[in-house]
Amino acid sequence: MKILRAKGKNVRHYNFRVKPKKPPLMWLVHFLVWLVCLGRKFKITYKGKKPKGKFLLLGNHASFNDFYALFKSVPALNLNYVVAIDAFNDMSNWLMRNIGAIAKRKFISDLSLMKNMKYTIHELGNAVVMYPEARYSLDGTTSFLPESLGKLVKFLNVPVYTIMLKGNYVSDPQWNKYKANYIPLHSEVSELITQEEIATLSAQEINEKIQKSFEYDDWKWLRESGLKITNKNRANNLNALLYQCPKCKKEHKMVGKGTVLTCTHCNKSWNLNEDGTLTAINGETEFSHIPDWFKWQRQNVREEVRNGTYKMEAECEVFTLPSTMGFVKQGKGKLYQDANGTRLEVNLYGEDKVIEYKGTQLESVHIEYNYKNKRDMFDFSIQGDSIWMNPLDKKDILTKVSIATEEIYFLAKENV
């Protein structure tokens, strides 16, 4: 995590209006992917026409494996793809632009992004790849998908394909990152919406088709495929995802270590088996399927939000990412969240700020478990900047805040 010393109002902010370019180094990307993936098994299935020419390709998102599968499945040189600004910070702006990346900030309305995607397709003649979930899947199933996808498809006016991946989550979950590269990757590339259908379908109908096509469950796929996760530390940090005990209902008392997840309050334990299922070591197995446990947590958060009892407050270390040059340390701040929305109390570049998101203003939030092997992080976007917050006084709150942000949004949308 590169930290800049920049202070004050003269800090440089990234210009998202800069036009994308044809990627002159795309051949290098394909070569490096081929090199990295030597010995790894891939299965690629095409349903309908293979993607060719100008199109929009939407993919499910679970780990860095997604990019390997993308370039193996769509070996084209005319690809540009949407990437979050923190990846530009990791890899350098020059390199990312020359391998086709289009920069964006997460979970914020971005007219420049839409214009750049249209420019890429209709002026450069390239295809655009986008991961509409906008972050890695938390539990190996479909994450939040924005309602604006149908409008985006109408705006871009090109055929839509999907690339749905299997094995990408269970071989590299974000809460652990154990890198089970012996698990093969399966990709299914499908023609979802033809050029003719764009003219006849409404934005809502297009959105519904995309939502349906994005239904997946990587844990179920692992179990049904007969593959195994043999890593002896596969349950390490599983507590970051499964933070609430289904027996005693206590939150943030879970510890995942080795192959075992344990509640330190009631001492109940579960083993994470090689097929991805959970088995209680003592007593009843409440949830054998990780996504079912995750859904139970979501239901509990939903009830808190809707009955007005949900509250989260955390002191945080604050950083900003104004450009691709590095993070700027901003000192301490506070995160507040309740059923009405989210509030950040921070000092940015020497000026105290209160940043509020009403329920309908924040669809979801980007989270990073153990970012750069150093700290858990929230990433909130504002116009011109990204605010990254590391909770200091609370354990394993990332998942609950992420769920709550979406449930607050859903409730606020119902009340509009």
Query: What phi, psi does 174 have (nearest 5°)?
Result: -70, -25
SS3 call for 403: helix
Mean pLDDT of 337-355: 96
Residues 6+ apart with CB under 8 A from 295: none
**Domain topology for 308-415:** PH-domain like (2.30.29)
Q: How confident is the model at residue 308 (pLDDT cuts 50, 70, 90)?
A: very high
Q: How many CB atoms neighbour CB 123 within 10 A?
A: 10
User: Mean pLDDT in the chain?
Assistant: 93
The reply to whether 16-225 and 308-415 are identical in fold is no
Query: Which helix (DSSP H) or strand (DSSP E) does residue 262 occupy?
Result: strand 260-263
Q: How far apart are CA 127 and CA 149, in angstroms?
A: 17
Closest CA to 116 of 131, 134, 101: 101
Residues constituting the chain: 416
Query: What phi, psi does 49 have (nearest 5°)?
Result: -65, 145
Q: How far apart are CA 17 and CA 397, in angstroms?
A: 35
pLDDT higher than 70, residue 9: no
Eight-state DSSP code of residue 345: E
Q: Which residue has the tokens 């749905």?
A: 164
Using DSSP bridges, classify how beta strands 160-166 and 185-193 pair: parallel, antiparallel or unpaired: antiparallel
Domain locations in the chain? 16-225, 238-305, 308-415
Q: How far apart are CA 49 and CA 190, in angstroms?
A: 8
Eight-state DSSP code of residue 86: H
- pLDDT score for 374: 86
Sign of CA dihedral 396, 402, 404, 405: positive
- Encoded amino acid at 97, one letter: R
Report pLDDT digits (tens) over 114-165: 999 999 999 999 999 999 988 899 999 998 888 889 999 999 999 999 999 9
- Encoded amino acid at 236, one letter: N
Eight-state DSSP code of residue 53: S
Q: How far apart are CA 171 and CA 37, in angstroms?
A: 14
Per the CB < 8 A criterion, the answer to whether 87 and 135 are in contact is no
- pLDDT score for 1: 60
Query: Which pair of structure tokens corresponds to residue 278?
Result: 């959970």
Question: Between 10 and 276, where is the model more confident?
Answer: 276
H helical segments located in 167-264: 195-200, 203-213, 218-225
H helical segments located in 60-126: 65-73, 85-91, 93-98, 111-122
Eight-state DSSP code of residue 383: T
Report pLDDT digits (tens) over 231-264: 999 999 999 999 999 999 999 999 999 999 999 9
H helical segments located in 132-179: 149-156
Report pLDDT digits (tens) over 29-65: 999 999 989 989 999 999 998 999 999 999 999 999 9
- pLDDT score for 77: 86
Residues 6+ apart with CB under 8 A from 214: 58, 60, 132, 133, 142, 145, 162, 164
CATH of domain 16-225: 3.40.1130.10
Query: Which helix (DSSP H) or strand (DSSP E) does residue 381 occupy?
Result: strand 375-382
Rg (CA), the chain: 21
Phi-psi region of 104 (alpha: psi -120 to 50; beta: other; left: phi over 0): beta
Q: Is 232 exposed, middle or buried (0-12, 13-18, 19+ CB in 10 A)?
A: exposed
